[in-house]
Structure 1
């Protein structure tokens, strides 16, 4: 029977929880990974028939109380809980503007950061704006989409020292955006293109991981300045729902800070030439 995005997500999350994780005894041969449907229903305090209808897509409007109980049983973190609520239509959906315009004031702020690469990403990971150092870090030469670059551009793959982790996190973040705005044309366009052209993306997408961007570190191997170990700070642009400001920062006095300084000098030299 056809399911829904909510049903598919519940199935994937259920498969990741072991009986021992929730205090259930393990005995006999289990035909499914993780918890059985009946076990989820029992632990969440609902009938097995109701939970089965949720997974199969025959029940589409669970209450927030039901969703909270399922999130507890399935051991979902804050991001995964929000994604569950989005899939169930239990949160107001943002209504982004038709045109993803970056405010001039934000562009001016980014331009003032001479030592921090900065990007503004759109709701489908399109690069809407970048300061000079951000352009130099990612070697942008035209309109780009970070998700498609990660999976389809060999130069971007080589840029990341730990591409496997970057790829998984990129897909998990994109799933959060897609769950919040599943009918957005650009999100659907990027998703379809990635699924059509990248088996690696399709495999990660099928895992249903959902995580927003948080403070993290990324290791780059830049073709001009070598290794860079940078902190990453991500902020929602409140004036433009769906947009994210991403700022990269090196520890003062570190080799990475020296590398960013050299990268800025090279970029300025090219701009003058």
Structure 2
């Protein structure tokens, strides 16, 4: 589950592990936009990293146009403007691009390449939270890899993605 600024609020162990290295960050720093721009593994994890960063900026740009005072938005934008030239370049374009479904190819360091489908859904009754589901047809290699990621999560720091009460 993501906040409107794409903070990770809750997730399954495999969902957290799918984003290689995200579990290394404290729960209050886990944000999808921050991850795609600032985490060193993101550039090689996504087959289409440039599309990922454009979509992430588009999501923030859309939120900024509708709710410029959204909690945490200004701080996240300021952080990324200060730490990522790619973010700065894209932010200055004013593109708005939101994807709600499709597929993503991951070059995962532990399970290899996989291309699960995904669906993003607004949580009814809120305009601040979205559920993102990654899926694959049972019996396919992609499904097996998603199950393996969940199984590998075990009981370590990436065993769960606790809800961040501050959001």
Q: If the TM-score is normalised by the length of the shorter chain, which range does it land in?
A: 0.7 to 0.9
- The structure 1 residue matched to 2:3, chosen from 100, 105, 122, is 122
Tell me the matched-pair count. 152
2:141 aligned residue: 255
1:268 aligned residue: 154
- The structure 1 residue matched to 2:105, chosen from 171, 196, 219, is 219
**3-state DSSP class of the match of 1:127?**
coil
Q: After superposition, where does 1:237-256 map in structure 2 within 5 Å?
A: 237-256=123-142
Q: Deviations over 1:132-162 (max 9, x none)?
A: 2212212432320110111111022222121
2:13 aligned residue: 132
Q: Structure 1: how far apart are the matches of 2:150 and 2:70?
A: 36
Q: Which runs of 5+ in 2 are unaligned?
A: 160-167
1:156 aligned residue: 42
Alpha-carbon shift at residue 206 of structure 1 (Å) = 1.5
Pick 1 or 2: higher relative contact order, CA cutoff 8 A, min separation 6: 2
**3-state DSSP class of the match of 2:41?**
helix
Q: Deviations over 1:150-207 (max 9, x none)?
A: 1111022222121111111111111112212101241111011111111101111122
**3-state DSSP class of the match of 2:79?**
helix
1:18 aligned residue: none
Q: Structure 2: how far apart are the matches of 1:222 and 1:250?
A: 16
**3-state DSSP class of the match of 2:105?**
strand
2:164 aligned residue: none
Q: Structure 1: how far apart are the matches of 2:138 and 2:155?
A: 23
2:83 aligned residue: 197
Q: Structure 1: how far apart are the matches of 2:34 and 2:96?
A: 18
Higher helix share: 1
1:33 aligned residue: none
Runs of 4+ in 1 over 6 A off after TM superposition: none
Q: What is the TM-score with the length of structure 2 in the denominator?
A: 0.83
Contact 1:124 1:187 in 2 (8 A): yes
2:67 aligned residue: 181
Q: Structure 2: how far apart are the matches of 1:225 and 1:266?
A: 10
Structure (1 or 2) with the larger CA radius of gyration = 1
